[in-house]
């Protein structure tokens, strides 16, 4: 009998002649956590989709629980004890927690009538097993994003999963929510469940993984026990070169006051927030999921109307605005948290996405000047190192990092004074992260002020010149560069009395 619960041997897969995976082998023992890392396009998702039965490998074999498996459907994969929790959560928001956990497998009486008592009893038992306190009758629409993630894990357990793949499970979590996720993973491992953990957050991989497998350009680079790796080595294995400085710094002095927000509130959670922003600085905004960070960004940009207070640009004759169009005209740009839904038209070309905000600049009497458009797109491609087959490639087919660069390119064409970045590196691999960090510092050197919202505390601390902490819709503290620590930020972000203040 094999020591491994799963072996994927010599897996290869190509799409339209493009090699996505080449001769990749991974092996997993029961009751361990395996980190699967690599840059966007490395082949991680393709490999897991082959495991899930969504794709069929061109070559290689899968051995699960000692048996060779070939041509298994997605349903057969689930029935065999493999569950995959994708980054985009697959829950029905109108249904209850219990209904989602057992969707399609609801306990029923002999005549097919739904057994509600059994449904909720079994759901509650699963949540208790995970140490989760949650009303099984609540609609999923009323849950926080973190709670929805936990429901997905309970759903996986309800399928009697022995092996759970978690694809970027922490991308939407921070602080105590992360701690709860890791506690659940540790509990599952103690129960003999195997976890394959896909993440761009390397600190988490070092925290929970027993072994790490690195993929690059569809090929296996190396698999090592975690205690034989350090962060610089792992980064070099992923990107093929050393990254000497993860968070680039600049030596410029703080510039003039650019923007002021005074006691702003909106119909959302945001309440009585005030801030100042200076030319050439990065102002970091930290806080838990649901603390009001995105609501602050939307209010600053005019996307959420203010119920009180004012936002104005000091450097533009005191310009103020009440909607995004006026904000853009005044010199603001917003790179939103959800780039696919709110930052790009993914079914349109890279060319159209880059030039949409400046069409009036490149049209004459209603006719698009194609040469001017080509020059703008080519310059953006070179400046931001955007990797794409051509300017006519649809945005949906670019990697996460290149999609994010496309959103940045679009807004930089408007020549902004202030750029608001909401989760600028979410779902972006370590190499692309470093390029985005360098670009942010280049913008600073040009005098552009940046407001950066991030759930990654090392990123907030490493990149910010100042940090504001939010809790329950309020700004509850400020740290100068060099004064902030993860513990200090989390303490403010989670304290019960959000009216307290630190400076």
Q: pLDDT digit string (tens) for 374-383?
A: 888 888 888 8
| Domain shared by 93 and 137, yes or no | yes
Spatial CB neighbours of 130, under 8 Å, sequence gap ≥ 6: 150, 153, 154, 157, 184, 187
Q: What is the pLDDT of residue 439?
A: 86
Q: What is the pLDDT of residue 289?
A: 72
Q: What is the pLDDT of residue 307?
A: 94
Q: What is the pLDDT of residue 245?
A: 55
Provide the number of structural domains found in the chain.
3
Does 502 have pLDDT greater than 60?
Answer: no
| Domain shared by 323 and 359, yes or no | no
Domain's final residue, options 186, 207, 239: 239
Q: What is the pLDDT of residue 243?
A: 60
| Domain shared by 392 and 353, yes or no | yes
Using alpha carbons, select from 306, 241, 298, 239 the residue that is nearest to residue 271.
306
Per-residue pLDDT tens digits for 458-489: 889 989 999 999 998 999 999 998 898 887 88
Confirm whether 426 is domain-assigned.
yes
Q: What is the pLDDT of residue 173?
A: 63
What is the SS3 assignment for 151?
helix
pLDDT band at 498 (very low <50, low <70, confident <90, very high): very low
Q: Are 199 and 425 in contact (CB under 8 A)?
A: no
| Domain shared by 302 and 432, yes or no | yes
| Domain shared by 256 and 234, yes or no | no
- CA torsion through residues 370, 374, 375, 380, sign: positive
Q: In what order do the strands lie in the sheet with 59-64?
A: 18-28, 6-15, 59-64, 67-69
Report which of residues 500 and 75 the model is more confident about: 75
Q: What is the pLDDT of residue 497?
A: 53
Q: DSSP string covering 317-367, please? A: TTEE-SSHHHHHHHTEEEE-S-IIIII--TTSBHHHHHHGGGGGGGEETTE
Using alpha carbons, select from 347, 341, 342, 348 the residue that is nearest to residue 324.
342
Tokens matching residue 171:
């991308």
Tokens matching residue 144:
């926080």
| Domain shared by 297 and 364, yes or no | no
Interval 1-15 mean pLDDT: 89
Interval 365-373 mean pLDDT: 82
Interval 400-425 mean pLDDT: 86
Q: Give the CA radius of gyration of the chain.
A: 24
Interval 129-154 mean pLDDT: 83
| Domain shared by 399 and 485, yes or no | no
Does 84 have pLDDT greater than 90?
Answer: no
Question: Per residue, what are the HEC states of 206-245?
Answer: HHHCCEEEEEECCEEEEEEEHHHCCHHHHHHHHHCCCCCC
Q: What is the mean pLDDT of the chain?
A: 85
Model confidence, pTM = 0.64
Confirm whether 269 is domain-assigned.
yes
Does 170 have pLDDT greater than 90?
Answer: no
Total Cβ atoms within 10 A of residue 117? 9
What is the SS3 assignment for 306?
strand
pLDDT band at 51 (very low <50, low <70, confident <90, very high): very high
Does 501 have pLDDT greater than 60?
Answer: no
Confirm whether 1 is domain-assigned.
no
Confirm whether 339 is domain-assigned.
no
Which of 88-97, 196-205, 258-267 has the largest mean confidence? 258-267
Report which of residues 315 and 396 the model is more confident about: 396
Query: What CATH number has the domain bearing residue 275?
Result: 3.40.50.300
Rounded Cα gap, residues 64 and 77, in angstroms: 10
Residue located via tokens 């400020």? 478
pLDDT band at 500 (very low <50, low <70, confident <90, very high): very low
First and final C-alpha spacing in the chain: 61
pLDDT band at 495 (very low <50, low <70, confident <90, very high): confident
| Domain shared by 323 and 383, yes or no | no
Confirm whether 288 is domain-assigned.
yes
| Domain shared by 357 and 478, yes or no | no
Using alpha carbons, select from 19, 214, 3 the residue that is nearest to residue 11.
19
Burial class (CB in 10 A: 0-12, 13-18, 19+), 235: buried
| Domain shared by 296 and 218, yes or no | no
Spatial CB neighbours of 65, under 8 Å, sequence gap ≥ 6: 5, 80, 81, 162
Does 356 have pLDDT greater than 50?
Answer: yes
Does 106 have pLDDT greater than 50?
Answer: yes
Confirm whether 302 is domain-assigned.
yes
Which domain range does residue 470 map to? Answer: 245-331+416-503
Does 195 have pLDDT greater than 60?
Answer: yes
| Domain shared by 133 and 13, yes or no | yes
Does 340 have pLDDT greater than 80?
Answer: no
Confirm whether 92 is domain-assigned.
yes
pLDDT band at 174 (very low <50, low <70, confident <90, very high): low
Domain's final residue, options 414, 444, 472: 414
Counting other chains too, the contacts that 388-391 makes at CB distance below 8 Å and 24 or more residues apart are 388/350, 391/349, 391/350, 391/351
Does 115 have pLDDT greater than 50?
Answer: yes
| Domain shared by 218 and 360, yes or no | no
Interval 205-219 mean pLDDT: 93
Tokens matching residue 128:
């208790």
Does 429 have pLDDT greater than 80?
Answer: no
How far does Cα 140 stand from its chain's mean position?
A: 21
Rounded Cα gap, residues 92 and 95, in angstroms: 6
- CA torsion through residues 340, 207, 144, 488, sign: negative
Backbone angles phi, psi at 176, to 5 degrees: -65, -30
Domain's final residue, options 372, 392, 414: 414
Confirm whether 206 is domain-assigned.
yes
Does 114 have pLDDT greater than 50?
Answer: yes
Using alpha carbons, select from 223, 314, 235 the residue that is nearest to residue 277.
314
């Amino acid at each position: 009998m094999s020591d491994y619960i799963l072996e994927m041997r010599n897996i290869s897969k190509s799409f339209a002649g493009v090699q996505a995976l080449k001769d990749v082998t991974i092996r997993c023992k029961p009751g361990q956590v395996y980190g699967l890392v690599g840059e966007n396009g490395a082949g991680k998702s393709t490999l897991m989709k082959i495991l899930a039965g969504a794709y069929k490998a061109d070559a290689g074999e899968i051995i699960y629980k000692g048996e060779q498996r070939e041509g298994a459907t997605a349903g057969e994969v689930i029935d065999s004890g493999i569950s995959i929790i994708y980054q985009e959560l697959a829950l029905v928001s109108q249904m209850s927690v219990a209904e989602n956990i057992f969707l399609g497998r609801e306990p029923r009486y002999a005549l097919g009538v739904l057994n509600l008592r059994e449904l909720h009893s079994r759901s509650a038992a699963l949540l208790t097993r995970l140490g989760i306190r949650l009303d099984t009758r609540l609609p999923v629409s009323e849950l926080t994003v973190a709670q929805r993630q936990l429901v997905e894990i309970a759903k996986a357990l309800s399928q009697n999963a022995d092996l759970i793949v978690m694809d970027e499970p922490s991308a939407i979590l921070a602080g105590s929510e992360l701690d709860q996720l890791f506690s659940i993973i540790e509990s599952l491992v103690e129960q003999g469940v195997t976890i394959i953990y896909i993440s761009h957050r390397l600190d988490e991989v070092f925290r929970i993984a027993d072994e790490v497998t690195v993929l690059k350009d569809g090929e296996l680079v190396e698999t090592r026990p975690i205690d034989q790796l350090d962060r610089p080595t792992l980064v070099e294995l992923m990107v093929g070169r050393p990254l000497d400085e993860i968070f680039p710094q600049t030596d410029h002095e703080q510039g003039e006051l650019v923007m002021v927000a005074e006691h702003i509130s909106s119909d959302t959670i945001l309440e009585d927030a005030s801030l100042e922003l200076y030319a050439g600085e990065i102002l970091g905004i930290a806080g838990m999921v649901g603390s009001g960070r995105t609501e602050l960004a939307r209010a600053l940009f005019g996307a959420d109307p203010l119920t009180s207070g004012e936002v104005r640009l000091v450097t533009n004759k005191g310009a103020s605005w009440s909607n995004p169009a006026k904000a853009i005209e005044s010199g603001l740009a917003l790179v939103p948290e959800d780039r696919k839904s709110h930052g790009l038209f993914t079914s349109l070309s890279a060319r159209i996405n880059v030039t949409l905000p400046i069409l009036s600049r490149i049209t004459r009497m209603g006719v698009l000047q194609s040469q001017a458009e080509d020059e703008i797109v080519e310059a953006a491609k070179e400046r931001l190192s955007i990797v794409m087959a051509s300017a006519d490639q649809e945005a949906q087919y670019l990697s996460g990092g290149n999609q994010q660069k496309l959103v940045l390119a679009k807004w930089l064409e408007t020549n902004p004074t202030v750029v608001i970045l909401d989760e600028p590196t979410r779902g972006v691999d370590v190499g692309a992260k470093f390029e985005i960090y360098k670009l942010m510092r280049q913008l600073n050197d040009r005098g552009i002020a940046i407001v950066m919202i991030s759930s990654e505390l090392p990123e907030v601390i490493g990149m910010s010149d100042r940090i504001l902490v939010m809790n329950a819709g309020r700004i509850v503290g400020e740290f100068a560069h060099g004064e902030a620590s993860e513990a200090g930020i989390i303490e403010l972000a989670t304290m019960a009395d959000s009216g307290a203040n630190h400076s």
